[in-house]
C-alpha cells in the first residue's frame, strides 16, 4: 500500500535544540550585583553589592565609612567590629546582604548629634589607650557592646561559676580582659584599654 509521506510530519529528535522549548521566565544570574539598602548610623545607604560582598567591604569600599578597619579579614583580630542591632559582630565575616533591614552602628555613629565623643571614646583618649590607633575603632565598639552584655547579666568564661546568671557580673580586670579577648592590639595597649573601660564602667555606676 502506498504511504502519504507529504502529510506525515517527520519525527523530531528530542535532543535537538529546536525540540527544547525556550525558557518562559527570566534567568537570574546568582553572581550579579544587586541593589541593597543598608541602615547605618541611623541613615539609609543605598548600595549595589555582589552577593559575596562582606559588610566590612560594603561599609569601607561602597559607603565610604572607613572608620571600621580591616586587619586580618579572617575573623581573628576584631578590628572590623561593628554593632548590628546593638550586638557586636565581625564585619569581615558578615555578608552585607544578610544584614539588610538591620540597625548597623559603626565608630562614625557613636558620637552624639552634637559631635560630642561617646564616653568610651573620651575614656580611650584620657587613658592613652591607643598608640597607632588601628585597632581602636574595633576596641571602642566592642567595649561599648561588652558593657551592655554585662548589664544584661550575660556571663563570660571568666565569670565566677557560682555566680553565673546571678545578675550583673563583677567587672574586674579578668572579666574585662576575657570579654575583650577578641580584639587584638599589636601595639599592646591592653593595660590602658582595661583602665579606660573600667573608668566608663565606674562612671555609669556612680
Interacting residues toward ligand FES by CB under 6 A: 70-73, 75-80, 90, 92, 130-136, 185-187, 189
Residue 28 or 74 having the CB closest to ligand FES? 74
Q: What DSSP character marks residue 31?
A: T
Residue 59 or 79 having the CB closest to ligand FES? 79
Q: How far is the CB of 75 from ligand FES (least distance, A)?
A: 5
Residue 46 or 75 having the CB closest to ligand FES? 75
Q: How far is the CB of 50 from ligand FES (least distance, A)?
A: 19
Residue 72 or 111 having the CB closest to ligand FES? 72
Residue 54 or 156 having the CB closest to ligand FES? 54
Pick the closest to residue 202 from 127, 139, 101, 103 (CA basis): 127
Buried residues in 113-143 as b, exposed as e (16+ CB within 10 A): eeeeebbbbebbeebebbeeebbbbbbbbbb
Give residue 119's Cα distance to chain centre. 22
Residue 53 or 159 having the CB closest to ligand FES? 53
Pick the closest to residue 143 from 71, 65, 186, 195 (CA basis): 195
Q: How far is the CB of 144 from ligand FES (least distance, A)?
A: 17
Write out the DSSP string of 36-65.
Answer: EEEEETTEEEEEEE-TT-BHHHIIIIIS--
Q: How far is the CB of 83 from ligand FES (least distance, A)?
A: 14
Q: Give the cell for residue 108.
A: 562614625
Neighbouring residues of 131: CB distance < 8 A, sequence distance ≥ 6: 187, 189
Q: How far is the CB of 163 from ligand FES (least distance, A)?
A: 30
Q: How far is the CB of 35 from ligand FES (least distance, A)?
A: 25
Amino acid at each position: 500500500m502506498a504511504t502519504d509521506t507529504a502529510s506525515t510530519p517527520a519525527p523530531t529528535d528530542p535532543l535537538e535544540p529546536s525540540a527544547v522549548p525556550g525558557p518562559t521566565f527570566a534567568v537570574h544570574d546568582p553572581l550579579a550585583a544587586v541593589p541593597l539598602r543598608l541602615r547605618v548610623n541611623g541613615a539609609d545607604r543605598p548600595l549595589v553589592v555582589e552577593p559575596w560582598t562582606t559588610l566590612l567591604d560594603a561599609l569601607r569600599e561602597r559607603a565610604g565609612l572607613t572608620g571600621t578597619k580591616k586587619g586580618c579579614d579572617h575573623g581573628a583580630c576584631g578590628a572590623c567590629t561593628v554593632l548590628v542591632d546593638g550586638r557586636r559582630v565581625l564585619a569581615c565575616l558578615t555578608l552585607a546582604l544578610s544584614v539588610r533591614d538591620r540597625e548597623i552602628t559603626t565608630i562614625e555613629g557613636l558620637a552624639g548629634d552634637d559631635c560630642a565623643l561617646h564616653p568610651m571614646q573620651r575614656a580611650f583618649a584620657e587613658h592613652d589607650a591607643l598608640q597607632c590607633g588601628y585597632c581602636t575603632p574595633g576596641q571602642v565598639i566592642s567595649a561599648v557592646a561588652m558593657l551592655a552584655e554585662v548589664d544584661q547579666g550575660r556571663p563570660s568564661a571568666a565569670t565566677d561559676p557560682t555566680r553565673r546568671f546571678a545578675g550583673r557580673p563583677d567587672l574586674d580586670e579578668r572579666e574585662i580582659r576575657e570579654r575583650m579577648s577578641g580584639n587584638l592590639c599589636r601595639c599592646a595597649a591592653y593595660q590602658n584599654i582595661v583602665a579606660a573601660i573600667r573608668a566608663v564602667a565606674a562612671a555609669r555606676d556612680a
